[in-house]
Structure formats: C-alpha cells, structure tokens
Chains A and B, each alone.
Chain A
Amino acid sequence: MIKGSKYLVMAIVLISTLLIAGCSSDTSSSGEGDKVKISMMIRWVSAADIIEKKIIPEFEKEHPNIEVKLQTSFNKNYTQALQAAVNGGNLPDIFASHPSLPVSKLYDLGVLHKLDDVIGDDKDKYEEGTWTKGSTVMDDGSIYAFPIMSGHKDSFVMYYNKDILKKAGLSEKDVPKSWDQLMAVSKKIEKKTDAYGVLVGFKDPWVAEGALTQMASAISPEVLPSVYYSPKGGDYKYDTKGTIQSIEFFKKMYDQKILHPSSSTLDPAEAPALFASGKSAFLFDGAWTASNLVKDGFKDFGVSFLPTKDGKKQYLGFQGTLAAGLLVNKETKHYKEVKEFLKFMKDKGYETLVKNGSQFSPIAEINKKNASDNVVGKTFQLQYDTFIAAPNPVYHNKNVTKVETEMSGKGPQKTVGDVLAGYLTGQVRDVKGTLHKVSEKKNTALENAVKEVKGKGNKISLSDWKFNDWTPFEPYKK
C-alpha cells in the first residue's frame, strides 16, 4: 500500500508540475536579461499578418528589451475569448475592440487603461469624429481606445473579373452603374461565357445585407443604411422603399439566374475564391476582400461602386463609431512598454498597414502619402468616399450608450439579410409586412430601454434621437 501511495503522490506531483508549467503567464519578465514580454490579442484577418510579420519585428528591433506576444482570434471566436478573459481577470496587455463588447461597457467594468498620453498632441491629426464620446472617449473625458483603422469602414463594393469581361467582348467601360445595366451586361456574359453574372456569399446574411442596404441608400437616403436609423424621424425604419426594392432586385437576379446559385450557401471566405476561379463576372463584397484576393494570387480584377437602381449616389453614415481599436488592460504590469508599442503603431504602424493594403488608417495624411495606386488602394479609396458624416444620438446625450446597452438582445432577431434569404427561398412572401414587424420590434425595444434608463434616474428622452438639422448626403457637423 505504501508503495502504491508513493506512485499516487508522484503522479499528482507530476501532473501538478505540468499544469503549473502550462498555465504560467509569460507576460512577466523572462529570463533573457531584462526583456519584458507584452501580450496582445487581435481579431482582424487583414491586419494580423502585417502586424505579426512586419510591425512587431520592426518594433522589437527598435526596442530589443520588449517582446510582443501576439495571439489572434478571428470572427465569432473573438467575443468568447474576450468574455472569458474579462471574467477570468486575465486580459492581455493589449486587445482588440469588438462591437459586441463596446468600449463603454468595458470602461464601466473598470478594465481599461487611459490612453491620453499615447495620443498626446496628435489628436487633431485624426479624422473628424474619431474622438466621439461613448466610442473612444469616455465619461471622464479621457481616451480609452486607440483607433487602429479608419472609421470609414466597412463598405461594400463591386469587384469585376477583367478576363471574363474580355471574353464576353466587354471592357471596363461596360462595368454597370445601374441595376438595368447590370442585368443586361450579366445576360451578355452568361451567353458568351460559362460564368454567372453576380456572386454574393450570404450564408452569413450580413454580407448580402451590407450590399443591399448600401444600394437602398440611393433610393431612401433619409434612413441611415446598415443601422436603419432615421435621424429626422428619431426612430428605426427597416421597411423603406429602398430596402424593399433592393430585396426585389436580388430576387429578380436570383429568378433570372444572374445570381450564382450557390450564393445563399457560400460563406464570406468561399465567395471570393469562387469569383477568383472565374465562376462569376461580378462579386458584391466588402472592401476588405480586395487585399485577400491579391494575397491569394488573383490580380486581374477591378473595383467599382455597387450598382444602384438608377445609377444614383449611394452612401454609408459615419457616426463616429470605433471601427477597429486597440484597448489596454488597466491591470497591465508593463504600461510603459505598452505605451511604447502603441506610439510605434501611431508613428510607423499606420504607415505599414496602409502600405501593405490592410485598411486605411485613421489619419488622412498617412493614407494620402502611403495608399497604393493598385486595385487595393483604389478599393479603400472607394470605401473611404462612401462614408458621409451623419448624426449619432450620442451627440445629444451621453446616456444614449446606456440605452444601447439596455436594448442589447431585446431588439429584432431577424435582420434584413435574413428577410432577403427567406424571400429568395420562398419562406417570406410579404417583404414589406415582415420588415414592418422588424421596425416595430426595434422601436418598441428603444422605447422600453429609454423608459428603463430614465427610470434609473438618467436624463434621457426619445427626442435625443431626432435631428431636424440633418440633410441626407450632406456631412453632418456636430
């Protein structure tokens, strides 16, 4: 028995040692002299490679006493990783922002470090709207988020395959600007080649919705696309003429086999691959896809604005929302080193990201100097130009962020992308009625949340959502 106990104790000691070794933190000083390790977790596919292979090595070369340990977690996994890190009290020193866990919520939880000294006197160099309250600046007037990319993202564009156009006897001059032109050109392409006209990967309905809502803005500009917020009405409106007509246009493309039949089952990564392999002449996708296509070796493509009903201008509202930012753990033991890294990002990192085709930076001057003149640079320029400054209720009242938090999970679950998918498969017959219900649910959630927040002693009213001084397509000045 004693012999057996010895084995048992040895096994426990061995397992414990392995567990301790496995769980030990590497953010503290390592054994290599005074080298300090800082941890970083990000979620942007387009930037991860550049940060890992170019920015971090450059930084470590300049700062041999600091090592940056990068961890990436993409798409749906990032929210879970962040939730777990916040709950477990083991946030990395630097981590990416995510719309599902807004900066304001993390600020309320007291897990964020102030970053005023990182931005310093460069505040004015950033694009207008960057330092919006509730977005990057919190109630105490300090900056808590370091914007890593321009707020003028993410827009949708139309990519075209030059080779297929050529095979169909067309040129870049024939790239359609209106829906009728798109139908006509696509039919010509389908007659002369094996390719379909249009491809949109909407297994995740937000992709088709992104394109659709932008097209809808040319018909119903009074409602901010993508957020369905009507600044003049002070409410949410999904059942606009623009949205309904755009859904019907998708259905027309689907019925007339202009839309690739796989579209509804392709995820955001599969659709560009199919487009690159010549299965369709046009691809509706996000601006971020341009650099991925080039990275995957496909260069023979061009980019243009999405076609709209009559070829009219489309837009997306820029409401000062943080599109992509880096946040710092309040409990970091190495703030000095973290600050060095963020300053490096500001001074050299932005430039590297723009040059290598990740996204535009939040500093317009850097974009002008460093954006490439190839298709990737052109795509980001189109994206940048799509955004127009628009009202945000938070400009009226900072308590709006509390209402937004209160509304979380209580609004409509069905998105416009879902309604589109349902309409294409015949499960939704009454588009207007379905969208009207979505509007009703959203507005009820808003009214209830305002009541709830007001009930807790905060000054807030539905009139904070109204902006009578706004005109669509005109940049809104706060």
Chain B
Amino acid sequence: MSRLKIITEKKSKPYMSLSPKKVANNKTLRRKRIWWAYLFILPQLLFFLVFTIYPIVMSYVYSVFDWPGIGPLDDFAGLENYTRVLKDPSFWNAFKNTFIYMAGVTLLLLPTSLLLAIALNNVLKKSSVFYRTIFFLPVVTTTAIVGIVMRKVFSSTGVLNEFLMAIGLIDEPHNWLGSPTSAMIILIVIGAWKFFGMMMVYWLAGLQTLPKDVLEAASMDGCNLWQKLRHVIVPILLPVAMVILLLCVSSSLHVFDLVLTLTGGGPYYSTDVVDLYIFRFAFNPDSGLPSMGYASAAGVVFGLAVFAVILLLGWLIRRTKQS
C-alpha cells in the first residue's frame, strides 16, 4: 500500500525536472507497478478465459458436429445443425416466447421500479431502508424456489383460488397455469417481481446523481411532481435508463430456471423459451441420446440474436448520451 502510494506520488512529478538516474528509477517503478496490476488482473482474466471465452468458442465448435455430449468429436456435420435449427418451428416458437417475456418484463419493470425508487428517494425517505429490504428480498431468493412456490400459489388448490373464491370473485378454482395466456402473464409478472428490487436499486443509484439545484430550480419555477418527472428527472436520467434497459433486456432474454420450475414451458410449449429448448436437447431428451451439437447450434443462433439486440441498445445509449 505504502509502496504504491510512493510510486503514485513519484509518477506525478514531471520527468523533465528529474535527473537521468531518477528518471530511470521512475521507469523501473512504473514497470513494476504495471506488473503488479497485471498480477491482480490475472485471476479474473483466467476465470474469464476458462469460464467465458472457452465455452463460447467450444459451443461454436460443437455446433458443427453431430455430438451427443460424450465421446470424441468425430462426426462432422457442417452446417446441418444450423439448418435444422432454423427450420424448426419449435425453436421459433421458443424464440418468440422469449422476446414476449422480455418485452413484458421490461415494460412492466422499468416504469414501476422507477416510480417506487422516486417515492423512496423523496416521499418515503424515512423508512426507505425498510422498503428497500422488502423489495430486494425476492432478488436474493433462489429463482427455482420462487418458481416452485408460485406454482403452488397459482394451482387450482392454491392460495389465489381459495382467496378469490372466499371473496366471491370466482365460483370454482381456475387453472391459472393451465391456460396459455394466463400462464405467460403469470410468468412475466413473477419474473418482473423477482427482479423488481434490483431495478429499483439501479434507479435509486441514478436518482442520487440528480443535481439538487436543478430540482430546486424546477420547484421554484412552480413545477409539480409530474412536470418535474417529465421535464427534469427523466431527461437527466435517460443515459442511466438506457443502461438499466440494457441490463433488464439481457437478463430477461436468458430466463430459464423460473420457466423450468413454474410452467415447464407449458401448456403445450406456450411458455417455452430458448434456454429451456437448448436444455432439453443438451441434457434432457425425451428419448435417445442428448444432442449437444444441435443444442450448441441453437445457442449460437440465439446468442447472435441477443448480441444484435444488445448492439442496438448500445447504439441507443451512445445516441442518448450524445444528445
């Protein structure tokens, strides 16, 4: 620590005013500092190479083989897996459902979490820690457990039906997860609820950066809450909002455990998503050997689609920042 401090201090002195010997010493120290920096980066870099880059590269390799996930890669299939994926209506059904889920979660999550964050930042300031904890609880709860519990809640014999029958809204239990539309809506609502706390924290972080003088000036000019929100808060928060949007989109495009435990992709594939589709082929075939090569091809196709979406959002973020 002290040594690094010395190095930093010494670096700040201009070389021109030092003797050649001191300049040489400074250079040596700078080199040492760089080596230390690399040493600290090394573990993360190794993890990144082994657990991110290697699987990505290998999924491209597997995707051109007819490979069940065990044994040697000796059955080269060329682009056959890709052709099969692109021609498979079930893949496009899962693809469509994934984007419906993403759009639903994003549209539901972003405005509601922003409103609550504003409320916590202004109106509920005194008890904000309590509310933050309450809303953050689902984030730290295991998604698979949430799925299992919610399946019980929404089942015909579950709490929701009992409650609705008790207050007289329905006469007989409704199978909420047994109908394609209600199953997707429930999935979206629970997915949004699960990550509500996280989005709220992102918004709160953004709200903390709002310049107080601008808000005060707006108040002095007679702006009401809606006008402040519309003309001051949202425009200033827009770059932050774009980053939050990016995070929300990318995480919801990879929904898996919630679908697996809550609906299993049903009824009749109406809530099937791409990650679940890939899982079925890679690890859980209905019959016969797993198809790791095919699953990898599906993963690559979907990965490219997600990458395109992220690029588009990245471009939007840049445009927003520039404007």
Contacts and interface: CB of A to CB of B under 8 A. Distances in A.
A60 to B, nearest CB: 32
B284 A109 contact: no
A105 B290 CA distance: 12
A100 B269 contact: no
Interface stretch (A182-190, A288-296, A337-345, A401-409): A401-409
Majority secondary structure of chain A interface residues (helix, strand, loop or mixed) = loop
Interface string A419-460: 001101101100000000000000000000000000000000
Interface stretch (B177-185, B191-199, B210-218, B304-312): B177-185
Contacts of A204: 264
A418 interface: yes
B178 A261 contact: yes
Interface stretch (B63-71, B125-133, B219-227, B236-244): B63-71
A422 B179 CA distance: 10
A80 interface: yes
Contacts of A99: 287-288
Contacts of B138: none
A79 to B, nearest CB: 6
B108 to A, nearest CB: 23
B4 to A, nearest CB: 9
Contacts of B284: 76, 79, 100
Size category, A interface: 35 or more
A456 B284 CA distance: 28
A408 B70 CA distance: 13
A428 B268 contact: yes
A262 B290 contact: no
A203 B68 contact: no
B290 A100 contact: yes
Interface string A264-295: 11110000001000010000000000000000
A102 B289 contact: yes
Given A262-B156, A413-B286, A87 B69 contact: yes
B101 interface: no
Interface in A247-267: 260-262, 264-267
Majority secondary structure of chain B interface residues (helix, strand, loop or mixed) = loop
Contacts of B291: 408-410
Nearest to A417: B286
B173 A261 contact: yes
B319 interface: no
A449 to B, nearest CB: 11
Contact of B156 (A80, A260, A411): A260
A27 B178 CA distance: 47
B121 interface: no
A425 B155 contact: no
A265 B269 contact: no
Given A83-B283, A260-B156, A109 B71 contact: yes
Interface in A374-427: 404-405, 407-411, 413-415, 418, 421-422, 424-425, 427
Interface in B264-317: 264, 266-270, 280-281, 283-291, 294
A51 interface: no
A108 interface: yes
Interface string B157-185: 10000000000000011110111100000
A218 B132 CA distance: 61
B283 A274 contact: no
B69 A105 contact: no
B286 A206 contact: yes
A1 interface: yes
Contact of B267 (A262, A414, A422): A422
A1 B69 contact: no
A101 interface: yes
A267 B294 CA distance: 28
B286 A262 contact: no
A405 B289 contact: yes
Contacts of A80: 283
Contacts of B88: 413
Contacts of A206: 286
Which 9 A-B pairs have CB atoms at the shortest separation, nearest pair first?
Answer: A409-B291, A408-B288, A422-B268, A262-B156, A408-B289, A261-B156, A264-B178, A427-B268, A86-B70
Given A262-B157, A410-B84, 14 more contacts: A86-B70, A100-B285, A109-B71, A203-B264, A262-B155, A262-B173, A262-B178, A264-B177, A266-B155, A405-B289, A407-B288, A414-B90, A418-B269, A427-B270
24 contacts: A79-B290, A87-B70, A99-B287, A100-B287, A105-B70, A261-B172, A261-B173, A261-B174, A262-B156, A262-B173, A264-B178, A265-B151, A267-B264, A408-B68, A408-B287, A408-B291, A409-B288, A410-B291, A411-B287, A413-B88, A418-B268, A421-B267, A425-B180, A427-B268
